Amino acid sequence: MSMTPVGASLLLMAALLLPACSTEQGAVDEPATASDCTRQIRVGSTVYSSFGATERRASRHTKAERADCEDVGHNARDSVFPEEPELVTAWNFATYPSEKVLAVRYDRDSFFVFTADSLSASERDQILKDLSQRSN
């Protein structure tokens, strides 16, 4: 069976393009991925992550470093603290020690709640449940 000139050209193009679509291991490159960044702040060596919001009253407490979101590319790293992070005002609640929970204002009446990463999931969930209630 003989090949037509068009068929031969297509086969040649495929043979030339296929290596460009593979990695060193021979697999096709995966598309860039995206991750949903976790909001994070840091005060000293303590990192806090946000999993909720509240309208409860809070008091200005200190400055905190805000993490950047690096959520696209082959090695999406989520939240990272750059060498020179942006500083934000961290707030605290009268009912919780600042070592466990802080807040960052996101509008006139509301805050993102940040819990210390050292807390257990159950302790974090209890704090968020408590702070999500409307009473001040």
CB contact at 8 A, 49 and 37: no
pLDDT at residue 47, rounded to an integer: 97
| Residue 38: per-residue pLDDT | 87
pLDDT at residue 74, as a whole number: 65
The list of the chain residues with pLDDT below 50 reads 4-34
pLDDT score recorded for residue 22: 35
Contacts of 19 (CB under 8 A, 6+ apart): none
Express each pLDDT in 3-16 by its tens digit.
544 444 434 343 43
Domain ranges of the chain: 31-132
| Confidence at residue 134, expressed as pLDDT on a 0 to 100 scale | 66
Q: How far apart are CA 111 and CA 129, in angstroms?
A: 14
Per-residue pLDDT of 69-88, as tens digits, reads 876 656 666 788 999 999 99
